[in-house]
């Protein structure tokens, strides 16, 4: 009996299987390539120092105490909100009042004073949130000394502003900023009688070079620890720590690492702190529409490529170690480090009971003083007075 042969499989199923495998491979390679790109962008954002910011404001006209200008790069620099200084290309400064009006894409502000060569139409300038120029003497009219303190990587430059008290205020600035950021706080602390030390840390200009990556406290806390030790050897009985942005992360990291110098801290003031930069990065990637899995792969690759330890930059775990009074101010309009990114840490600090946390409507990142100088001074002055009035205060 003859048996018919079963028909063999045609070429199309095999071709489809091969095509599917190729597509899956291409998709996987594309995902890895995109994640690699994301990791590179993340690494660039953590690199220090950051590239110089371009002069993005075109001065249209200067008439008496009125200056008109056009923002040519809305994606660059701080928002046109509050009391700001304009830094001119020749080193001059224009200090403006808080109010601003806009018509036809041209902004108008009142000039409070001009330092250096007056601004001219056609010049390019840039906003400066730190407002006070150069150093404590030129910016605030306060005598100061340029000092250095020994730390784990070498000698770190700092400014010392003397005062009659024995409780020093130590200010730590944010990523990519300068010592000038601390001048608004130094001004208030000086009037309260506190000597002030405004410090640098690794990767700052003039400071020892680290690995060129901002670790948001994971490494830099050792530099703050060295600054506290220096202050104590120079007569400080104890210290108040003040900080902005990444400086806030450095401050809480000092406590999380159990530094022996933490026992000298009597109080903490934080302005726009970055207390969970991983959460902020995820919120930013969600806002840009990056798929979650792709973003997570990018963050994972950034750990491998740049040594970013996301868990170490989340300071929720540091809350229980911080038992001194705290004042935290954060702008509701902060698009750099959103108040939402800090929400779990803020909630834990509030529950602990040692911290006063205020989210200020309309204020941008490190722009709380600019938004309301009198309110900023009132809040900080009251906090410093309460720390001084506590048992053992000086």
For 127-152, write each residue's pLDDT tens digit: 999 999 889 999 999 999 999 999 99
Please give the CATH topology (third level) of the domain spanning 136-276+314-389.
Rossmann fold (3.40.50)
Which residue spans of the chain are classified as CATH 3.40.50.1820?
A: 136-276+314-389
What is the C-alpha separation between 265 and 237, in angstroms, rounded? 10
Describe the strand order of the beta sheet including 196-199 as a list of residue ranges.
145-151, 154-161, 196-199, 167-172, 238-244, 265-271, 326-331, 355-360
Task: Kindly report, as residue ranges, where domains of CATH 2.40.10.170 are found in the chain.
Answer: 57-128
Per-residue confidence (pLDDT) for residue 71, from 0 to 100 = 92
pLDDT digits (tens, 9 = 90+) for 339-367: 999 999 999 999 999 999 999 999 999 99
Distance in angstroms between the alpha carbons of the first and the last residue of the chain: 111
Q: For residue 108, what pLDDT is reported?
A: 96
**From CA 24, how far away is CA 21, in angstroms rounded?**
5
Assess contact for 249 and 272: CB atoms under 8 A.
Answer: no
pLDDT in tens, 157-181: 999 999 999 999 999 999 989 999 9
Strand extents, DSSP E, 162-231? 167-172, 196-199
Closest CA to 237 of 367, 35, 393: 393
Per-residue DSSP letter, 123: -
* pLDDT value of position 323: 94
Spacing of C-alpha 102 from chain mean position = 28
3-state helix, strand, coil in the chain (%, to 5): 40, 25, 35
CATH assignment of 57-128?
A: 2.40.10.170
Res 385 pLDDT > 60 = yes
pLDDT value of residue 257: 96
Integer Cα distance of 59 and 56 in angstroms: 10
Greater confidence (164 vs 80) lies with: 164
Residue 193: burial class (beta carbons within 10 Å; 0-12, 13-18, 19+):
middle
Confidence class for position 20, pLDDT limits 50, 70, 90: low
Host H or E run for residue 343: helix 343-352
């Amino acid at each position: 009996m003859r048996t018919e042969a079963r028909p063999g499989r045609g070429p199309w199923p095999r071709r489809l299987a091969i095509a599917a495998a190729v597509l899956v491979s291409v998709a996987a390679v594309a995902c890895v390539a995109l994640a690699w790109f994301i990791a590179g962008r993340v690494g660039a954002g953590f690199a220090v120092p950051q590239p110089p910011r371009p002069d993005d404001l075109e001065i249209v006209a200067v008439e008496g105490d009125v200056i008109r200008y056009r923002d040519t790069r809305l994606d660059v620099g701080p928002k046109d909100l509050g009391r700001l200084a304009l830094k001119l290309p020749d080193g001059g400064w224009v200090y403006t009042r808080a109010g601003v009006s806009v018509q036809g894409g041209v902004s108008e502000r009142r000039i409070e004073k001009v330092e250096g060569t007056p601004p001219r139409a056609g010049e390019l300038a840039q906003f400066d949130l730190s407002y006070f120029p150069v150093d404590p003497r030129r910016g605030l009219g306060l005598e100061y000394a340029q000092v250095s303190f020994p730390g784990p990587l070498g000698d770190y430059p700092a400014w010392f502003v003397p005062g009659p008290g024995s409780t020093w205020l130590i200010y730590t600035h944010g990523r990519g900023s300068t010592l000038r950021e601390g001048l608004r706080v130094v001004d208030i602390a000086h009037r309260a009688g506190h000597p002030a030390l405004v410090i640098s840390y690794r990767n700052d200009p003039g400071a020892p070079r680290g690995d060129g990556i901002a670790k948001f406290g994971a490494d830099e806390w050792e530099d703050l620890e060295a600054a506290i030790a220096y202050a104590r050897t120079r007569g400080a009985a104890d210290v108040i720590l003040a900080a902005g942005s990444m400086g806030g992360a450095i401050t809480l990291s000092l406590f999380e690492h159990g530094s022996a110098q933490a026992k000298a801290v009597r109080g903490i003031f934080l302005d726009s702190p970055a207390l969970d930069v991983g959460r902020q990065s995820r919120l930013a990637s969600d806002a840009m529409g990056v798929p979650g899995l792709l973003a997570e792969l990018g963050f994972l690759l950034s750990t491998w490529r740049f040594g970013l330890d996301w868990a170490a930059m989340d300071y929720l775990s540091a809350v229980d170690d911080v038992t001194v009074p705290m004042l935290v101010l954060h702008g509701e309009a902060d698009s750099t480090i959103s108040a939402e990114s800090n929400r779990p840490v803020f909630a834990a600090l509030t529950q602990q009971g040692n911290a006063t946390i205020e989210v200020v409507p309309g204020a941008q990142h490190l722009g709380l003083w600019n938004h309301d100088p009198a309110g900023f001074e009132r809040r900080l002055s009251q906090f410093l007075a309460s720390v001084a009035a506590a048992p053992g205060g000086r």
